[in-house]
Amino acid sequence: MQRLRRLIEFMRGLPPEAAEHFDMRAYYRSPSGGDEGLDARGTTACALGWATTVPEFHACGLALRGHSPVMFEGYTDFEAARKFFGIDGITADRLFGPDMPATTPAEWADYAELWLLRFPQRAE
């Protein structure tokens, strides 16, 4: 749960303009269609895509390579989220799925924090 709390903190700390580059339906999307990375101007990502930019997460192996799914220790997508964050499948879907209602990083952080308060048993 410590990693998830760190991601909540990270998402809250993003500048307001990051809201323009947040979309829960895309791990990563570049206006040019290239693989510039999330720090490139105009790229967009979901919460899990943004998580790959947290230096300590990246150092632990959470990665996004181009337009491929998020990866961790051979797992991809929600399984990577489950393993990396120590959460169950329902929590991975609620926090990182395309139907997650947040439209900004700050909204995502608020939703994730409420989810953890309401369902702490779903995280290890």
For residue 72, what is the enclosing H or E element? strand 70-72
- Residue 123 forms part of a structural domain: no
Domain-located, residue 124: no
Q: Given this model, what pLDDT does residue 31 score? A: 57
User: How high is the mean pLDDT of the chain?
Assistant: 85
pLDDT tens, position by position, 46-89: 899 889 889 999 999 999 876 668 899 999 988 999 999 999 99
Structural domain tally of the chain? 1
Structural domain boundaries, residue 71: 2-118
Asked if pLDDT for residue 25 goes beyond 90, the answer is no
Nearest to 57 by CA among 4, 96, 107: 4
Average pLDDT for 89-93: 92
Q: How crowded is residue 120: how many other Cβ atoms within 10 Å of its Cβ?
A: 9
Alpha-carbon distance values, 34 to 42, 43, 66 (Å):
11, 10, 8
pLDDT, position 38: 56
Q: Quick check: is 14 in a domain?
A: yes
Residue 40: what pLDDT? 45
